[in-house]
Amino acid sequence: MSNKKKKKEPLSREQICRSSRFRKDTDTPNPFDEEVPVKKAYAIYLSPEQLIEYRVIKTFNHPLNETEESKWLVARKNMLIGLPEGYDLVELTREDVKYKSFMVSCSDNWKQYHAN
């Protein structure tokens, strides 16, 4: 038995395309990978009681690769407990935002992937 370490082989094109940053079938990068200011959020969601506002400012997976557990960077504001700075930044799952609230506005690009 040899104690030599195996040399790591570079990732194939197929492995790279399966990466969460890119679409499954092409090298198209995630269109929501860049963090934007809170005022220019990709989408705004409200809880059913309209007590919590979620502003999506970044996603970590390409929309076509997302699952319910995919993480989104969200600026969250509780309408009852106003923070001095207004929003707190949190990472939430797609399910926590999309399926437990409703969308009130979004960018055209966001609508292409998430309005259903």
Domain definitions of the chain by residue range: 30-114
25, 28, 88, 96, 105 from 44: Cα distances, Å: 29, 25, 14, 13, 5
Q: Is the pLDDT of residue 12 over 80?
A: no
Average pLDDT across the chain, whole number: 81
Spatial strand order of the sheet with 52-59 comes to: 88-93, 71-78, 52-59, 43-46, 102-106
Q: Is the pLDDT of residue 92 over 90?
A: yes
Q: Is the pLDDT of residue 60 over 90?
A: yes
Predicted structure pTM score: 0.73
pLDDT at 80: 77
- Residue 17: pLDDT band by 50, 70, 90 thresholds? very low
What is the Cα–Cα distance from 22 to 20, expressed in whole angstroms? 6
